[in-house]
Amino acid sequence: MVADPGLPWPELLAQLDHEFGGHEALVPPADPGAPARVAVMNAMRPELLREVHGRGVGVYVTGQLRPGAVDTARGLGLGVVALGHRRSEVWGLHQLARELRAAFPELDTTVLGGRDPG
């Protein structure tokens, strides 16, 4: 998913930390003051970084930082926010529960094993 929130790195990072309850690792972008186009991805590989960079992305959000891809991110000037594998999965489960409750108010939903970060 690619989005244009129009926020520079510090504001984007603050919003992500607020929504997800923190992050595990960061690679700052080459230009932290520029409004960033953001890619939300389920993997971090050099070829994916190159692909989204070609689409004008400045910040790559993923669950887990892959050391083998960090040099590629830095070389492209991409910022990377690794939210944490568990943190992003727990957030996703809670988001799914919120959407199910909105669509089916009579449905009882429970997410086990994680506090709702959002």
pLDDT digits (tens, 9 = 90+) for 54-65: 999 999 999 999
Q: Where are the domains of the chain?
A: 2-89
23 annotated binding-site participant = no
Average pLDDT over residues 90-102: 92
In this structure, are residues 27 and 78 in contact, taking their beta carbons and an 8 Å threshold?
yes
In this structure, are residues 50 and 117 in contact, taking their beta carbons and an 8 Å threshold?
no
**What residue type is assigned to position 1 of the chain?**
M
Lowest mean pLDDT among 47-61, 66-80, 99-113: 99-113
Give the pLDDT confidence score for residue 26 in this predicted structure: 96
Give the pLDDT confidence score for residue 97 in this predicted structure: 93
**Secondary structure (H, E, C), the chain:** CEECCCCCHHHHHHHHHHHHCCCCEEECCCCCCCCCCEEECCCCCHHHHHHHHHCCCCEEEECCCCHHHHHHHHHHCCEEEECCHHHHHHHHHHHHHHHHHHHCCCCCCCCCCCCCCC
89 annotated binding-site participant = yes
Average pLDDT over residues 80-106: 93
Give the pLDDT confidence score for residue 36 in this predicted structure: 86
Give the pLDDT confidence score for residue 113 in this predicted structure: 74
Best CATH choice for the domain 2-89 from the list 3.30.70.1140, 2.40.37.10, 3.30.420.40, 3.40.1390.30: 3.40.1390.30
Residue 65's nearest CA partner among 88, 43, 32 is 43
Residue 27 has pLDDT above 70, yes or no: yes
